[in-house]
Amino acid sequence: MGSSQERQNCAFCAIASGAAPAAIVFEAEDSVGFLPLNPATFGHTLIIPRRHFRDLWEIPKDVMADLMKSALVVAHGIRDALRPEGMNIINSAGEVASQTIFHIHVHLVPRWQDDRMGRLWPPDEPQDEAARRETARRIAEYIAI
């Protein structure tokens, strides 16, 4: 659950507790949804658990399940209110994946043709088939249910 110091200095913990202001769009017992200060698109919303977990490798499965249920509720609200043409649901874990606040969060990013986000993936060149199969084998070997 992150260090005590990390939790004390966490901007998202401050929002979740009501100690910091935010443009809140959703509140539940275990989660909060709010607009980020620098949205990627109009209506971009963050969903966070009220409890501090650093990233998806730290959050318990049941808490993550509840977080995604909240994300689904908010996603429907965004769709009904803003009528986007699509939506990205994004979670970044670790600095190399662009995580900048180390309190797990889910981005709901409404999308429109030619919005400022642009195309995210896949790359234009497909992965070598043998490498793809070997990667799948390696991942499957380590999955524990």
Catalytic residues: 105
What amino acid is encoded at 103 in this protein? H
pLDDT of residue 145: 67
Question: Is the sign of the CA dihedral 67, 70, 42, 25 positive or negative?
Answer: negative
Query: At CA 116, angle to CA 111 and CA 121, rounded to 5?
Result: 70
Across the chain, which has 145 residues, the per-10-residue mean pLDDT values are 72 96 96 95 97 96 97 98 97 93 96 86 81 90 81
Residues 49, 31: Cα–Cα separation, whole Å: 4
Give the architecture (CATH level 2) of 4-142: 2-Layer Sandwich (3.30)
pLDDT of residue 4: 66
52-81 pLDDT per residue, tens: 999 999 999 999 999 999 999 999 999 999
